[in-house]
Chain A
């Protein structure tokens, strides 16, 4: 069996600009590429969110600033079809081209090799391909945005038959489905890479139960990606066949020919992917939070194994609960009730995770630095989001709340707000490993308080109007008599959303200033013991030389005995304790040594 160093030979660092910065196989460069891609699309998706909020606050009035540029033909007013395109592409862009690249593409690439002690990914070229598939899919989305007849407008769920030529003719929707297919390809190639890397390239001594929770989160996400994104891909291909080649897999009703298809099949295919997808987007954030609460409270992560088991349980359960999106499709009652019970069971591992986080921060020594604040923000908004999900898991209450703004508020709190704040927790924390500098703390704190307060108010505003009965995806909600009185509340929520948008300027300024003008960070500015902080900031091309030997878990903080003995409140994962009396031996890789 080849040793780890044979699996990971050291190549000479690439010299040319193209090999170094564009077609690079270095996981750290690919991580930065995913980060930039995610930021670019988050800007587009964010502007769209602001326009949706304008429509709900002042329906049918010209959009200030952007109106004349984007909707010149209608005097700056968003038309109903344009509105549909805006919320459709907002959802898709935020999920597939903002959160996915940042949380999975950027952190997965940066953290997995660095945290498990590998020199790169298992398949560096596949890794590069993963980014360029994502880039290509992004181009398809841009093509959709400028298509004649407009971009797709069938909602992010692209329910057939609305997403077939019956509901949305033209190339806009087709480009979008192509985009989804190719970002899926990117997720699968990336996923195969992550799964293999974690299984094969862990440093000696890095047992499964010594991996940081971040790696656990990313690894489980990668497994879910590999298992369930292909289902979305097949649904997308069938939909493309329906749109381009005139098949009728998903078309039914008066407009179908004799061999009518079944629209419900599309929903099954979509949600058997779609429900794992929401965990795909949150597991990395859970992992990051699990680590950060320990790092910044200077306390071991409470019941580490419990957190791991809980995350594994959620990953498994995520595959068998998807039917709760379809309670009102005329589902068989027995099936519906089974999905209800399975969905409710997910709250048990979720509660265990929350209990572990709360136990970890309890009686610690909390450092109020920006990454920690964002981690607390994740717990806060995910608490709200998770608890409002109970009403939707239950069929009786879902009858009324299904397809209302309650659903929108709930999934924004969980997979938007929690993933968003989780991404920022990671960016503030690993910034030295991304760019070699630290972000400014004062701007970071302003960014945190603004973001957390207004993101909560925005999405709780949606929960409240959903409680009052407002359906989602309405161009003008006040067309309905029973919703007329909600306009002032929706306007208020829009102001909160715009405030949230403005507060992101703190981050933009902070980010560019720190990347280009920031002071170089030390190797380990947060006093953390995981392997990623044992290398320089930013890390060298091959990360580790020699490959480290791990002797303990990732969360060894605040041990009074250690503090007394060495005057420091943490032990790194490679440090032997008690310290050897004489000069320590050179740490070698026992696996490769044995192979010689």
Chain B
């Protein structure tokens, strides 16, 4: 075995080792506002997505480095007058078995990891609407998108949507920390996409459809609501503000906002009636 093939064989293990040594450091440091990092995660479940993105990036980087290494050696060494061509059609049984085994192993390793943890996340969190809705303190919000802003509606003390005590806000969504929030998202004109980068959540807002989405925040603060789907000239200005409050502050705000809504309510104003009865999901 040449020194080169020895190095080649040691390479994946070395890279994995380097990564394993650095992994705790990577996980511990939550970098602030660097162009090379994900936005700050303020959700309970976002770390599952972050972990999957980072680990997959590490895995594919290993593959890519190995590929470049092979290309570089072929480029610099297997060339010139003294290069001996290894005449080989690659049709031997062993060679075909090797190629298929390597492909299968890479598939099981990287794609298998992705598939398994994604299925787990989808079943336990993203598409598991029972989890938040079974909890007593769940917050329900209806989002209605239009060019180029987000309307939000809370059911108010009566627990029914589209009534006089509903809280209605524009581009200003307030939620309590450590309580699940379920949203139903719709649009009146074109397709928008409700995007909360700091909560790792996104869902399309399509006219004629009501799409559910849920999250739970674990930190307070003010964060951007963004539109992720091209929706016309001022798509880039479709920014809202998500305010995550302590529970007491949220309750105080909700009570006051509902009181004011009732004062301003006008039954004859169709513009205020855009809500819909909460859909079973």
Contact = CB atoms under 8 A, between A and B. Distances in A.
A391 B54 CA distance: 10
A116 interface: no
Interface in B84-120: 84-91, 95-96, 99-100, 102-104, 106-107, 110-111, 114-115, 117-119
B189 A254 contact: yes
Contacts, number: 304
Interface string B174-212: 000000000000011111010101101111101111011
Interface in B195-232: 195, 197-198, 200-204, 206-209, 211-212, 223-224, 226-232
A564 to B, nearest CB: 12
Contacts of A367: 79
B264 interface: no
Interface residues of B, number: 90
Given A364-B85, A380-B68, A400-B202, A471 B37 contact: no
A329 interface: yes
A146 interface: no
A337 interface: yes
B239 interface: yes
B275 to A, nearest CB: 13
Interface in A131-169: 153-155, 159, 161-162, 166-168
Given A254-B207, A264-B209, A468-B38, A399 B111 contact: no
Nearest to A79: B233
Given A154-B230, A352-B103, A396-B48, A254 B188 contact: yes
Given A328-B204, A489-B35, A482 B195 contact: no
A388 B232 CA distance: 28
A480 B114 CA distance: 31
A521 interface: no
Contact of B206 (A264, A303, A305): A264
Contacts of A303: 89-91, 95-96, 99
Interface residues of A, number: 107
Contacts of A400: 38, 49, 53, 197, 200-202
Contact of B207 (A263, A300, A384, A395): A263
A403 B200 CA distance: 13
B102 A394 contact: no
Contacts of A489: 35
A2 interface: no
Contacts of A306: 90, 96, 99
B224 to A, nearest CB: 5
Interface in A286-302: 297-302
B30 interface: no
A383 B57 contact: no
A589 interface: no
A165 to B, nearest CB: 11
Contacts of A344: 107, 111, 114-115
B208 A262 contact: yes
Contacts of A341: 115
Given A355-B103, A361-B74, A477-B236, A387 B63 contact: yes
Given A299-B87, A300-B87, A390-B114, A396 B121 contact: yes
Interface stretch (A102-110, A121-129, A553-561): A553-561
B191 A159 contact: yes
B191 A263 contact: yes
B243 interface: no
Contact of B88 (A81, A162, A299, A336): A299
A569 B230 contact: no
Interface string A552-579: 0001011110000000010000000000
Given A388-B60, A399-B201, A485 B33 contact: yes
B40 to A, nearest CB: 9
Given A297-B78, A362-B70, A468-B35, A253 B228 contact: no
14 contacts: A162-B232, A251-B207, A263-B207, A302-B89, A304-B91, A305-B91, A330-B212, A344-B111, A345-B111, A361-B70, A397-B53, A402-B193, A473-B235, A482-B198
Nearest 6 CB-CB pairs, A to B? A253-B207, A252-B208, A558-B85, A302-B90, A363-B86, A387-B60
